[in-house]
Structure 1
Amino acid sequence: MMLTPEEFQQQWTALLDRVETCTTEKALEDRVLTPLLILLGYDKADVAQQVPFGRKRVDFLVKAQQAAPCSHYLVIEAKTPRKSIAHNSWQLREYLRESGSLLGLLTNGNQFKLLYNDGRAIHILWEFERADLYGNYRLLGSLLWERNCDRVMAAFADSHRKVHHQFIRAIARLSHDPKMMSLLAIHDRQTSDPEPQRRESMIITVFNNKGGVGKTTLTINLAAALSQMGKRVLLIDIDAQANLTTGLGIDPLEDIEKAGRKDITHLLTEPKTTAASVTISKRWGNVTLDVIPSHIRLSNMENQLIQLVDSDRILAKKLKNHDYDFVFVDPPPSFGKVNRISLMASAGVLVPTQLSPYPIRALEYVFSQVEEVGQFRETPLPIVGIAVSMYDRQSKTFNQAMVDDLNAKLDRLPGGDRMALFREATWVPRLNVLSKSQSKGYPLCAADFDEDLGSQDRNSVENALAAFENLAKELIQKVSVDAEPNP
């Protein structure tokens, strides 16, 4: 029976009210989620419960399909209403990948998180509180209604048939059978690629002369977050320790030296070596990062670099015609020649720090060095922001004292009013899983694929990823795409 909008709203509200009576996951499934699916138009044949996937069971599998390209439309994972779902979507991500399902819903009745599987990666579409859904059921219902489900699955099926038809046509063309060619009436269309658009971009040095503040970890994961947002990102490791290089799964000895490849040392010292020729592309799901790797031999090249003509602008010249949205340069925590080369090539400086006395005190020296290099440039060299890493959320009083100390130092510095901390939502927490991922050679966003991670680490991954995503968004807002051209 077709319900009027008023009747639907009434039943929808009643189901949301029932959450208050649920104290267990089973109660939420029986009293709220099952009736909700019926209200959205599904019948018993459309919904399967406690479906096994390997050694685990998914709570709800909706509109199971056996035909490619999507096996199922919706997977629902329920949690007890007392348990937060803020950092608990890793299990649902596994279900989506293993089942090939299109959508995933994670809920405890009070919070709702909707995920989308595009075939390569899992994306969070929407996050709601129960209060949001009282007044507007279309927020969630628009994608979950049975009739919309049928439309989407029919569109996928139609697309799949078209692919099969094109494949059959290709087979016919290869067969050179005149009769088959005549029947299929194959006509090739030539298409021309659109003229590529010019990219605006920004080269940023991530710099702090105090080591151990999470500089490289922040650089890798900020770059990955930007890549997930569709940005083209190049990472340049100009530190002889090569932590960024190894943190992305590249071994300077095995993958570079023994393989006969070139690295940052060749780019800086050989006039005809281009950035493209020393770049390695790494991919994890929907994240692609291009990397110019480093090598330990860079530590012995200070004198050689100093003797080069116009040595400070070597990197700037090599990056003049690059095609990236963001280029991040990771120099060593010192004030050597390669740091000067990095800063001269950049349009801005991102300063990572910890909320502790010595790293904050060291910021004065960072700002002084940036100001000194800026005097030799044709364009300004701004501090685009101060990013907090290795943040201890338990020490709130101490953290606030450190923030006050930092702001007081900025107030005393010339131009300090143009420097600021990124918002607290961007502060990266101190987590073991961050060092684990870097030691294994992948950005944190690829942790879903690490079968050795325990549930506690997986939950903390989402916590950190949210901070990197917020940092990426704020960085995009802070740095104008129409920024000053790089020198």
Structure 2
Amino acid sequence: MGKIIAIANQKGGVGKTTTSVNLAASLGVLEKKVLLIDADPQANATSGLGIDVESVEIGTYQLLEHSVATKDAIVKTASPNLDIIPSHIDLVAIEIELVDKEQREYMMKQAITSLKDDYDFILIDCAPSLGLLTLNALTAADAVIIPIQCEYFALEGLGKLLNTVKSVQKIHNEHLDIEGLLLTMYDSRLRLSNQVVDEVKKHFDQMVFKTIIQRNVRLSEAPSYGESIISYDAGSKGANNYLSLAQELIEKNAEK
């Protein structure tokens, strides 16, 4: 039985998509069967795995509309053991279209629950907002990973996100857990980075992943080649960080 994990933070630029793509690829390399769902209209996870966004005819939009069979939306990627449900800019319209529907927060849950037996991990790359798309992802998920960049406004907005998680637990999905807070864009030379790490660990202690994702040029280059960091430069610091995170996630879930 697979585990569904949403990767969410309403702040943009914190490393959600980078984490979704590279954690998914790392889990695949570690021989786990993985599905990545791109639930962001910017479709960066889709293009970051080498899929031409313009050519996407069936993806997350049709999945949420329930206009296709879920399995028909799945595309194989060049990355080992990794499939994706791609996104397209038309996903922007889905929030407006779902507004009047009954059970609108449960559209994704209804579409993907049946896939849990086919995969070890299903990761959902969320949009940088707390709208209906992200709400659908949190309602469908077993847990959420929250990336936090090691910069000045790191903790700003985190309270709001944790409150959203609480209200989703109360109203839509009582089983939703916080898988962990993931520190990203860490630069050991900067005092500020170290202060943020200390601050987050002081406040959230056990909730923080041991693995910290460091700033890495190769990590920012990889998406422009449509590759994960694992296939772009397996020896880079970024690849090591994400493999270590994948290992930590696997071990954490093996204990349960």
Same fold, TM-score > 0.5, yes or no: yes
Contact 1:224 1:445 (8 Å CA) reproduced: yes
1:296-324, CA deviations, whole angstroms, 9 ceiling, x for partnerless residues? Answer: 11112212112222111111111122111
Change (3 A) 1:392 1:376: same
Taking only aligned residues, the RMSD between alpha carbons, in angstroms, comes to 1.8
Unaligned residue ranges in structure 2 (runs of 5+): none
> 2:107 maps to which residue?
314
How far apart in 1 are the matches of 2:228 and 2:65? Answer: 30
- Structure with higher RCO (Cα < 8 A, 6+ apart): 2
Matched positions, count:
254
Amino acid corresponding to residue 204 of structure 1 in structure 2: I
Matching residue of 1:31 = none
1:227-251, Cα deviation, whole Å (9 max, x unpaired): 1111000000111111111111112
For residues 99-118 of structure 1, the aligned pairs below 5 Å read none
Q: 2:237 aligns with which of 434, 438, 463?
A: 463
Conserved 8 A contact 1:384-1:478 = no
Distance 1:400 1:317 in 2: 42
| 1:11-50 equivalence runs, <5 A | none
State the one-letter code of the partner of 2:224. S
Aligned to 1:160: none
> Which residue of structure 1 lines up, in the alignment, with residue 73 of structure 2?
278
Match for 2:84: what amino acid?
V
Structure 1 counterpart of 2:197, from 403, 412, 424:
403
CA displacement, residues 40-87 of structure 1 (integer Å, 9 cap, x when unaligned): xxxxxxxxxxxxxxxxxxxxxxxxxxxxxxxxxxxxxxxxxxxxxxxx
After superposition, the Cα gap between the structure-2 partners of 1:303 and 1:360, relative to the gap in structure 1 and judged at 3 Å, is same
Map 1:52-91 onto structure 2 (within 5 A): none
> C-alpha deviations, 1:397-445, integer Å up to 9, x for none?
43332123224443xxxxxx6x52111xx21221221121111111111
What is aligned with 1:432? 217
> C-alpha deviations, 1:199-250, integer Å up to 9, x for none?
x210000001111111101111111111111100000011111111111111
Q: Which whole-Å CA distance do the structure 1 matches of 2:50 and 2:255 have between them?
A: 30
Matched, 1:443 2:228: yes
Q: Is the aligned partner of 1:304 residue 2:72?
A: no
SS in 2 for 1:472: helix
Q: Partner of 2:63 in structure 1?
A: 267
2:208 counterpart (387, 406, 421): 421
SS of 1:250's equivalent? coil
The residue type paired with residue 350 of structure 1 is I
Structure with the greater alpha carbon radius of gyration: 1
CA distance in 2, matches of 1:442, 1:381: 31
**1:341 equivalent in structure 2:** 136
**Equivalent residue in structure 2 for 1:228, among 29, 39, 42:** 29
Unaligned runs of 5+ residues in structure 1 are 1-199, 411-416, 449-457, 483-487
Superposition deviation, residue 481 in structure 1: 7.7
Matching residue within 39, 42, 50 for 1:249 = 50
Query: TM-score, normalised on structure 2?
Result: 0.93
In structure 1, distance between residues paired with 2:254 and 2:104: 28
Any idea what the Cα deviations from partners look like across 1:326-384, whole Å, max 9, x if unmatched?
00001111110001000000000001111122122222121111111111135321111
Distance 1:481 1:294, change over 3 A: farther
TM-score when scaled to structure 1? 0.50
Q: Distance in 1 between matches of 2:4 and 2:173?
A: 15
Contact 1:210 1:359 in 2 (8 A): no
Corresponding position of 1:210: 11
Q: Distance in 1 between matches of 2:243 and 2:42?
A: 27
Q: Give 1:478 shift.
A: 2.1
Residue among 20, 28, 49 paired with 1:219: 20
User: Which amino acid letter does the alignment assign opposite residue 239 of structure 2?
Assistant: L
Letter in 1 for 2:33: R
SS in 2 for 1:468: helix
SS in 2 for 1:333: coil
CA displacement at 1:274 relative to structure 2: 2.1
Tell me if 1:329 matches 2:124.
yes
Partners of 2:218 and 2:238 within 8 A in 1: no
Is 1:381 aligned to residue 176 of structure 2? Answer: yes
The answer on whether the counterparts of 1:201 and 1:481 sit within 8 Å (CA) in structure 2 is: no
Give me the whole-angstrom Cα distance separating, in 2, the residues matched to 1:339 and 1:384. Answer: 16
